[in-house]
Structure 1
Amino acid sequence: MKVLVIPFDYPTTDNPFKGIFVKKQVKALSEYVDISVYKLRRLPLRNPINIIKKKKCELVYDDNVLTLDCCYLNKIPKISFLKNKIYKRKLFKNFDKLKSNFGKPDIIHAHMTYPAGYEAMLIGQKYNIPFLVTEHSSDFEKMVYVNHPKKTAKVLSTASSYIAVSSMLKRKIQDAGKMDCKIIPNFVNIEKFDLKETVNKKWQYSDKFNIINISLMSEKKGIDYLLKAFKKVIDKRGKENIHLHLVGDGPKKKDYEKLSVCLGIRDSCSFHGFLKSEDVAKILNKCNALVISSKVETFGIVGIEAMAAGLPVVSTSCGGPEDYINKDNGVLVESENTKSLTSGIIKIMKNYENYDKKYIKNYVKNNYSSKVVCDIIIDNYKKIIKQKNKY
């Protein structure tokens, strides 16, 4: 089986974490199917540096996966019909280059409805190849109803199948008219997070109850609510008994550091900044619980990573975590509600000894390992190809 993946975002030298979930999925699938990637980087013309950066399409092997790496400049923004004609011609020309080296794909898997899903649709219609779309974006409704209603409507009506990473996204996709939508979650590398012991002394913490949050330091992650809730927890439980670890960087990091000072909890908070994935695994294995304080999450992969390390999770009801958090592995609380988040953290602390780390790890292994998720995706591919071959 030959599979072509068209991502919206994909890691680059400048931004190695952009679209990293898609790349991890591609790498995992490459163990079971013949897979290639059409990586189309869209560079806005308004930045002159993009003209210098632009290069011809290159065929490269990225993690042993044949990848067509292309750049596209938005050259004629005011003449839409001409821009679209040039855009399609380049799209097909680039695909022909990939096809001559990879062969004709049996199926195209796009990630995000627009523009990747639209590109998959155009190629699929011209070359008679079925396509499906995995939707990840929290801006799906804006994309469909405001920014690109006509093009996304075509994608929704012609895609063989849709995949949503959570129940929340599935409801939105079905509301937009695509009833054939399955939930297939993101996955984690179980072995990476299930460490038997941590040898790095850097992560040897005290006997305090260590809470961790891993996120981009941006407004939608709700870190201000977390810090205010943590202040209330300290007032009730005592600062000598609890510590908060914040992992991640972003535009609001300095603001949150200042807020922790204003709240009088700076000594009980550690801002670790960005950490490499192997260090994230180590710090998780030295903490007691993870807190997700986000306003919106289409999935919330950090929750699964924490549970792979055996940690219970306190999470706001923000979209994705509702699919995997239950009474045996964590607590759900109201989003953007300091009082509710405070209660959730205290509940986890009080009942910590009742959480079975082995059960939590096995729950992730049985539902969110790469093997489990890849099997579901490949089964979906086979059904679509079989249906197409009937006609």
Structure 2
Amino acid sequence: MKVMLLSSYLPRPHVPGNVPFISSRIKALIKKNIDVRSFLVSNTSEVDYNFKDIGLFEHQVKVMNFYFEDCWEDKNKILDLIESLKDQYYKSGCDIIHAHAAFPAGYIASLLKDKYNISYVLTIHGSDIHTTPFEDNQFSRQVKELTIKALKKAECVISVSDFLIKKAFLLTDKIKRFEIIPNGIDSMFKN
């Protein structure tokens, strides 16, 4: 099986210890002989890199520059991003997309589902569900709408806690299926 992983939360050259919860999931999938193709979707000027170069394991990351505001300000840029990801998906022979965080990765996956009927699962992690959509400002109101779309279109929503999935259901009761998989504990830190 081949999985296209979309996230804006991946360890990066300037913050290698950042978000170990995603790199540990990638490592676990690789150990199960699942081919993972990772794409950092973020407002960055970084270039493609390898986890190995930042002191982790061998894993290539393709960087897709994307600015959140393009979701509502420049539809052509997001359409270009979707087209590029679709090409990467089919070129790599992927079977499914795994989006980490409802926005922007989940929203982007929902656009791929709409336009190309590419299935995706969505892992929600925290503030993407319990904070941002409930804040009272213009950005959060816009993100809330896109978050709801991501939740509704996913084949399955994976939540890291019972609390978080309950918050997701406050946003929409149209979630098809959900699973709760806690983040767990990295055994390298035990005594």
Return the TM-score normalized by structure 1.
0.41
Q: 2:18 is aligned with what amino acid? A: K
Of the three residues 73, 80, 89, the one matched with 1:89 is: 80
Where relative contact order (Cα < 8 A, 6+ residues apart) is larger, the structure is 2
Q: Distance in 1 between matches of 2:71 and 2:160?
A: 36
CA displacement, residues 226-268 of structure 1 (integer Å, 9 cap, x when unaligned): xxxxxxxxxxxxxxxxxxxxxxxxxxxxxxxxxxxxxxxxxxx
Structure 1 gaps of 5+ residues are 44-53, 195-284, 286-391
Q: Tell me how far apart the structure 2 counterparts of residues 110 and 151 of structure 1 sit (CA, whole Å).
A: 14
Q: For residues 79 and 193 of structure 1, do their structure 2 counterparts lie closer, same or farther at Cα, with a shift above 3 Å needed?
A: closer
In 2, the alpha carbon distance for the partners of 1:116 and 1:68 equals: 14
Secondary structure in structure 1 of the residue aligned to 2:38: strand
| Counterpart-to-counterpart distance in 2, 1:169 and 1:129 | 25
The answer to whether the 8 Å contact 2:102/2:128 transfers is: no
Contact 1:108 1:124 in 2 (8 A): no
What is the aligned residue count? 177
Q: State the 1:117 CA deviation.
A: 0.4
Tell me the equivalent position of 2:2.
2
Letter of the 2:64 counterpart: C
Equivalent position amino acid for 1:39 in 2: L
Give the residue type in structure 1 aligned to 2:61: T
Conserved in 2, the CA contact under 8 Å of 1:35 and 1:66? no
Q: 1:26 maps to what in 2?
A: 26
Tell me the distance in 2 between the aligned counterparts of 1:114 and 1:78: 13
The Cα of 1:135 is off from its aligned counterpart by 0.8
Using a 3 Å threshold, how does the CA distance of structure 1 residues 145 and 36 change in structure 2: closer, same or farther?
same
The correspondence for 1:167, drawn from 148, 155, 162, is 162
The one-letter code matched in structure 1 to 2:121 is L
Mark the runs of 5 or more structure 2 residues left unpaired by the alignment.
52-56
Equivalent residue for 1:72, pick from 66, 72, 78: 66
In 2, distance between residues paired with 1:79 and 1:38?
Answer: 18
- Tell me what 1:150 maps to: 145
**In 2, Cα distance between the equivalents of 1:94 and 1:131?**
13
Partners of 1:110 and 1:116 within 8 A in 2: yes
Aligned to 2:54: none
Indicate the residue corresponding to 1:134 in structure 2. 123
State which structure, 1 or 2, has the greater radius of gyration over its C-alpha atoms.
1
Structure 2 Cα separation of the partners of residues 134 and 80 of structure 1: 23
Q: CA deviation at 1:113?
A: 0.7
- Partner in structure 1 of residue 42 of structure 2: 41
Q: Distance in 2 between matches of 1:41 and 1:72?
A: 5
Question: How far apart are the structure 2 equivalents of 1:152 and 1:166?
Answer: 18
In structure 2, do the counterparts of structure 1 residues 89 and 139 end up closer, same or farther at CA, with 3 Å as the change threshold? closer
Aligned-residue offset at 1:162: 0.7
Which of residues 107, 116, 127 in structure 2 aligns to 1:118?
A: 107
**Partners of 2:101 and 2:128 within 8 A in 1:** no
d(CA) in 1 for partners of 2:162, 2:14: 33
Structure 1 residue 132, shift from structure 2 partner: 1.1
The secondary structure found in structure 2 opposite 1:30 is helix
Following TM superposition, by how much is the alpha carbon of 1:14 offset from its aligned partner in structure 2, in angstroms? Answer: 1.1
Deviation track 1:179-233 (CA, whole Å, cap 9, x = no partner) reads 632210113343x245xxxxxxxxxxxxxxxxxxxxxxxxxxxxxxxxxxxxxxx
1:78 to partner: Cα distance: 9.2
Check the 8 A contact 1:173/1:179 in 2, yes or no: no
What's the secondary structure of 1:6's corresponding residue? strand
In 1: Cα distance, 2:157 partner to 2:70 partner: 32
**Counterparts of 1:78 and 1:167 in 2: how far apart (Å)?**
32
Change (3 A) 1:169 1:118: same
| TM-score (norm. length: structure 2) | 0.79
Residue 86 to residue 167, structure 1, CA distance change in 2 (3 Å): same
Distance 1:114 1:79, change over 3 A: closer
Residues 188/161 of structure 1: CA separation in 2 closer, same or farther (3 Å cut): same
Shift of 1:22: 0.5
Identity of aligned residues (%): 27
Q: Is the 8 A contact 1:2 1:35 kept in 2?
A: yes
Q: Is the 8 A contact 1:110 1:133 kept in 2?
A: yes
State the 1:68 CA deviation.
1.3
Check 1:157–1:30 CA distance in 2 against 1; reply closer, same or farther (3 A cut): same
Shift of 1:20: 2.1
Q: What do you get for the CA RMSD once the two structures are aligned?
A: 2.6
